[in-house]
Amino acid sequence: MFAALWLLGSMVLDYVTPKELTVYMIAAATAPAVVGTALAYYLRFPTIDFVLILATLWLIAAFTLEWISPVPLPGFMIGAAVAPALIVGAILRWHRYRSRQRSG
C-alpha cells in the first residue's frame, strides 16, 4: 500500500513541479518519509503520535525537494508543505480544548 502511494505521489509531484526536477529525484527525496510512515503504521503508534510523525516527515520531504531542486519551486508548494503541520496543530489544539472542557 505504501509503495503504491509513494509511486503515485512521486508521479503527481513530477507533474506539478518544474521539468528539471525528475520523478527519480522526487522519489529519492520522499522515500524516507514513506518508509518512516510505513514503519510507524506497522508498529501501531497511537493515532496522535502517528499523525505528528507523518506531518513532520512530509514537511522534511518538502524541504528536501526545495533543497535539491535546480530551479525554484512554484509558490503553492509552500502551502502544500506547511498544510499538514497546520492541520495537525489545529487538531491537537482542538483536542486539548475539548479535554479541558470535559474535565473542568
Q: What is the pLDDT of residue 80?
A: 84
* Beta strands, E only, 49-97: none
What phi, psi does 31 have (nearest 5°)? Answer: -60, -45
Residue 7, C-beta contacts closer than 8 angstroms, at least 6 positions apart: 27
What average pLDDT does the segment 86-92 reach?
91
Tell me which residue of 91, 65, 92, 89 sits closest to 78, measured CA to CA.
Answer: 65
In the numeric block, the cell 493515532 is attached to 47
Domain that holds residue 30: 2-103
Q: How many domains does the chain have?
A: 1
Q: Residue 86: what pLDDT?
A: 92
As a whole-number percent, the residues of the chain with pLDDT over 90 amount to 34
Q: Is the pTM of this model over 0.85?
A: no
Share of the chain above pLDDT 70, in %: 99
pLDDT given at position 29? 92
List the one residue out of 103, 14, 95 whose CA is nearest residue 49: 95
| Average pLDDT rounded to a whole number, residues 19-43 | 92
